[in-house]
Structure 1
């Protein structure tokens, strides 16, 4: 095996895991409907690292789909600073949705244990491994085994769990036709991988670029955070995520000829977001834009799907870009510097 072989395989086969994620949600439809039939004061999504960013994307989507208050919190904060997230004098229960690739991350395990000890409410777990401690703590688990990985940086696993979270949110909000439409995503994802792999390689291998900014707003901000993390983890490159309009408030001072600005464009706010990209281009940045459609957009999905549904399509090409950049820098995408697949701590 050559460096990066696992990562490449996991990126390019991830659509199989998307389909399984949808199947898992469908098989659990009755149990999920029962779970969401209860009244909750709020829904908290939690995870660590990539799955915290997944939580941010999922919480925004869940609230938009259902109208229920939903937010994300790092599992470490839920554990160590619980009162900043959950009121001490709670009356109505909270639904906790804990997301973990491995099901063994210490902060997530301890946060869920504390949540249950204090009888805060029900727990839904989304993970890729069944025989691990976290699913055993859950009232209901969604396990997507095809999302399992050999590499350390999450690609296929993240996408599989994100698809499950989206389908779950659509189910909770009774968006049944949109949930059914998600089965079209796998074909669209494979088309993107084949159509834009060369663009991902071109930008990724250009080592004249020394900083990357990933812009996304609304339900796309968590995805921008995750794309940023892949670039940071795999390639040791300066990378940051921002909301589109926030980027003008200071961060744009860093933009120049060695900058790549990646825009995860929405349909609903396209003109405002596109204006930010054009402004950064005028300052010398290389622009990489992703959207469902648009004449000047770099990567077009052409999905003919609702905006709530196709978020996972932003991921594969950006994951490939990080993969190619890591190789160009002589790094192993499978084994990012200083990282391990699971963070397990003896002190918590």
Structure 2
């Protein structure tokens, strides 16, 4: 959500800013803008809608400059208008901002009393006026920024330029991701490395409370206490190829089809190791994982559904009680702390604000056994966790998560098996069988992908509907939840998921010929129960779409449509059955003509509450 890019160089940075904003479009936004310092003036162009519209305006107005900032905004304070779009300015100061300032109303009253006039409804304009106020008091740009952030309550990533200091850009972060890119005679800031990867791969990940002073030939980082610090320089492994569509129509389609490779990459270390073990989670001696008595999982959205799936695995394999909470709920309830409980946070970006705050809350209660499962190295949640396990999904551009979800499931299954082994509940023959199942998993996922033409035909029928039900039982119930989420995220069809056994306790009232019912029906111990639930739908005239295993012995009829996934793959079946529901959502959205990669009102990385 929201995106920042800034550059200072000896060349025209406008193309750099616009390219960077285009690479940040996947995060979700509703307006875009850039500001450049030219001589003793700051020029700005903003537009609602897509970056391309702002780019056309910038070209028409002849924008150029060697110092500039850009932003894609996802509206929070104030509606989607050009006046609320970033960058915001104040008397020659221009800035862009990700996050939310909680005390903006008090600061607005203070600044209005000082004579400042507000042109927007945003919290961000407050920051611009505060910085100008401190400049008027005699501070330079860096110290004006540092004094300003000391007066702010909330979360922010900021990049600031001023016409009075045309050879300088300053930036700050608290609670929202921001990094510095190091070039040759030029430097950059960005909220995501993808925005600057075509210019540099050398990056510094700013830490909480950091401010940074950028010149063309120098970068200096300051800690929250104002002291100069040296932050580690990382070489990003994000490739330009991963940010390009290639032969696919949408990034979501590309990322669905990348799942066999993403899963293979994610299990590579495990297969090389030849065994489950705590070292896969950077717990070399098992000091953290070997002595736990419960697991608590915290996550949001799709990651939460991954956690729900993991609960079945952890309790079945390891015999350890497992609770799963939505992070935004956990952080606000009275929690009974257990110092021997493993706190697992799951986040694709590693910057999900509610998950990060839930982790901070857990740690404040003395729960120090923390494990982050994440797809982005050096992001905030892994840095705040004792143990880290990185999935290897690669860059995920589509807002609706696909390969990040299945690689999270692989990581969580690995955790469940590791905990089982540490508790003496995983004999050698069972460990070998689970490893062999994981080796075959990429191939099984590819077999499921081969069902795409059949699923696309179903999707044409779904496109005319406005509501749908998803049913699953046991470990496949969370996959039904994920399928419903995907369908509503990108096709805007209202969809709900239920445990199939709950159908008769209320949802059955909704079933008629106009309510399609998607059933996940693997050939497991609950298959006969699922078949009974299907009969309940059939008796009410419902139209069913069943994803069954090849060996499930399902018969088709006028009301029952069946697509057979590969043979039942046992305990890893939820991962394979994720693929069909992703494809159903994708092709339904395609048929309805929605913006698949950038669905309305949604953002990729949710860094505000």
Residues in 1 aligned to 2:372 and 2:270: alpha-carbon distance in whole angstroms: 12
Q: Which residue of 1 aligns with 2:343?
A: 96
Deviation at 1:17, TM superposition (A): 1.0
Q: Which structure is larger by alpha-carbon Rg, 1 or 2?
A: 2
8 A Cα contact 1:11 1:155, kept in partner: yes
Q: Which residue of 2 aligns with 1:37?
A: 290
Give 1 or 2: higher helix fraction: 1
Q: Which residue of 2 aligns with 1:10?
A: 255
Q: Which residue of 2 aligns with 1:244?
A: 500
1:252 aligned counterpart, secondary structure: helix
Which among 523, 528, 533 is matched to residue 276 of structure 1? 533
8 A Cα contact 2:368 2:386, kept in partner: no
Q: Which residue of 2 aligns with 1:259?
A: 515
Name the stretch that deviates more: 312-321 or 111-120.
111-120
Deviation at 1:311, TM superposition (A): 1.5
Q: Which residue of 2 aligns with 1:19?
A: 264
Ranked by relative contact order (alpha carbons within 8 Å, sequence separation 6 or more), the top structure is 1
Q: Identify unmatched segments of 5+ residues in structure 2.
A: 1-244, 421-425, 556-561
8 A Cα contact 2:471 2:477, kept in partner: yes
Residues in 2 aligned to 1:70 and 1:99: alpha-carbon distance in whole angstroms: 14
TM-score, normalised relative to structure 2:
0.53
1:87 aligns with 2:336: yes
Residues in 2 aligned to 1:3 and 1:326: alpha-carbon distance in whole angstroms: 15
Which among 58, 65, 75 is matched to residue 317 of structure 2? 65
8 A Cα contact 1:258 1:285, kept in partner: yes
Q: Which residue of 2 aligns with 1:295?
A: 553
Q: Which residue of 2 aligns with 1:170?
A: 417
Q: Cα deviations across residues 185-231 of structure 1 (Å, max 9, x unaligned)?
A: 1111111211x212211121223333221111221121111111000
Q: Cα deviations across residues 61-104 of structure 1 (Å, max 9, x unaligned)?
A: 211111110021011112111x2xx315x4x4210111000000
Deviation at 1:6, TM superposition (A): 0.4
TM-score, normalised relative to structure 1:
0.91
Q: For this pair of structures, how many residues does the alignment match?
A: 338
Q: Which residue of 2 aligns with 1:340?
A: 603
1:59 aligned counterpart, secondary structure: helix
Q: Cα deviations across residues 296-325 of structure 1 (Å, max 9, x unaligned)?
A: 27233344532x222101111111111111
Name the stretch that deviates more: 333-342 or 110-119.
110-119
Residues in 2 aligned to 1:304 and 1:327: alpha-carbon distance in whole angstroms: 29
8 A Cα contact 1:185 1:310, kept in partner: no
Q: Cα deviations across residues 29-52 of structure 1 (Å, max 9, x unaligned)?
A: 342471331132x21111111111
Q: Which residue of 2 aligns with 1:137?
A: 384
Residues in 2 aligned to 1:4 and 1:252: alpha-carbon distance in whole angstroms: 37
Residues in 2 aligned to 1:147 and 1:56: alpha-carbon distance in whole angstroms: 23
Residues in 2 aligned to 1:178 and 1:212: alpha-carbon distance in whole angstroms: 37
1:291 aligned counterpart, secondary structure: strand
Give 1 or 2: higher strand fraction: 2
8 A Cα contact 2:297 2:307, kept in partner: yes
Q: Which residue of 2 aligns with 1:286?
A: 543
Q: Identify unmatched segments of 5+ residues in structure 1.
A: none
